[in-house]
Amino acid sequence: MRIALFAETYLPNVSGVVTHVHALRVGLERLGHQVLVVCGDNSYGGHLLQDGVLYCPGYVSQKFYGYTISTPWSRQRSKYIRDFNPDIIHLHTEFGIGFFGMHWALKHDVPLVYTLHTMYDDYVYYIAPRPFIPAARSLSHRYISRYITNCDAITGPSLKCQEYVDALGIKRQVRVIPNPVELDKFTPENIRPEDVAAVRQKHNLPDDCDYALFVGRLGREKSADVLIDCWAEAVAPEDKLKLLIVGDGPVRDELMQQAERLGVTDRVIFPGKVMHDDMPPYLALGSLYITASLSDTNSISMLEGMAAGLPVLQKYDPLNGDQVTEGVNGFVFADAAELKQKISQYRALSAQDKQRLAESTRQSVAKKGYEALAENLLAVYAEAQAHKDTRQEPAYLPLKLRRRLKNTVGKIYKRPR
């Protein structure tokens, strides 16, 4: 099959969606399929097709971590897609690239698959001041509804995605397909001790301390502030346990100020942005992975921590309740008091029991490799092809709204041809 994957950004940019798309591409190619990744990248001054990736120009948004937001209209891009002649179009974004991919698929009668990666109700603060958030959320719901209504199949990495679709009042089933993890890359035996030592030296991390890690983009939706609050109450200096908050983002400075205000700068460390290829030794020096985020859908960073053998401390989240099984691959906490209890429970284990828990944690993600992701999606692609033949009239955005969107985009940047 010829499969076109549409994403707003791609390597070398770092995000969970990028990691997912790359894993799917690799998995599909290993199974003998042809893949074209269509993404935004303003580095080349125009469209560029290189090594199976079509880079599209656009507007570089500092609010969205410096990613390129591409125009939804481009005759040149249409020609590249037509030359590739895809059997399936698979959307991993709802912005300019995704909008283009959706309308191209509908116009050319190509099966359309949509993966909902993001719970956008948690992200509207990026684009709207606080008084306008309800209106922005309503507009977001209308916009996302078009993707869900028009697609031939919809997938998502957790039950949160089904809840989101249900909240929109749309009767569509979301196929829950867990995120992938590159197992070999994060297996402890494959991580060089000298690389771990280099990380310790770089960030002045003492050898006599244990470390819990959170890895992710530092936006409000990740709830790292909740994590710091809980950590300040649950962990004392004499515990010799430190929290590494690895990543960068718009609230990093606020989080650092919060740690200083709470007097926990000796227990909370901010190593900054770490490229994905450099992440294994960071995870290898850890004892636990920890997250308080309620916006994540089967976090890839968490899965990578689990692949490295780090049991997870997860803030209670009923819709992601199947990710952590108490005592098998981690622990669940509701507040700072319970976090303190679970940390004490883990640290009271013998070295042998900790090793058994690490191995059990690795086994819990053992079937989430790249080929498994590709095989799951190939089954969805077959369903989408069957559904296309029963597709109803496409639910385009209203003409007035489309014109408004087009005028707004045109004011932001010159439309690439």
Q: Which CATH number fits domain 2-180+370-412: 2.40.128.50, 3.40.1080.10, 3.90.70.10, 3.40.50.2000?
A: 3.40.50.2000
Nearest to 368 by CA among 215, 178, 185: 178
Give the pLDDT confidence score for residue 158 in this predicted structure. Answer: 86
189: exposed, middle or buried (C-beta count within 10 Å: 0-12, 13-18, 19+)? exposed
pTM of the model: 0.80
Model confidence at 19: pLDDT above 70: yes
Q: What pLDDT, on the 0 to 100 scale, is given for residue 416?
A: 41
Condensed to tens digits (0 to 9), the pLDDT of residues 334-353 reads 999 999 999 999 999 999 99
Q: Is 314 helix (H, G, I), strand (E, B) or coil?
A: strand
Please give the pLDDT value at position 317. 85
- Residue 171 is given by DSSP the state -
pLDDT in tens, 175-216: 999 899 988 999 999 999 999 999 999 999 999 999 999 999
Smallest CA-to-CA distance from 17 within 25, 26, 8, 29 is with 8
pLDDT digits (tens, 9 = 90+) for 282-309: 999 999 999 999 888 788 999 999 999 9
β-pairing verdict for 174-176 and 112-115: unpaired
Bridge partner residues of 91 (DSSP): 6, 114
314-327: pLDDT as tens digits: 999 887 777 899 99
CATH entry 3.40.50.2000 includes domain 183-363: yes
Q: What is the pLDDT of residue 32?
A: 97
Q: What is the pLDDT of residue 261?
A: 98
Same fold, 2-180+370-412 and 183-363: yes
Cα–Cα distances in angstroms (integers) from residue 108 to residues 71, 74, 89, 352, 371, in the given order: 19, 15, 11, 59, 29
Query: What share of the chain has pLDDT > 70, as a percent?
Result: 87
pLDDT band at 43 (very low <50, low <70, confident <90, very high): confident
Strand bridging mode 34-40 / 48-50 = unpaired
Q: What pLDDT was estimated at residue 214?
A: 98
Please state the domain extents for the chain: 2-180+370-412, 183-363
Look at residue 13 in the predicted model and tell me its pLDDT: 85
Mean of the per-residue pLDDT values of the chain:
88
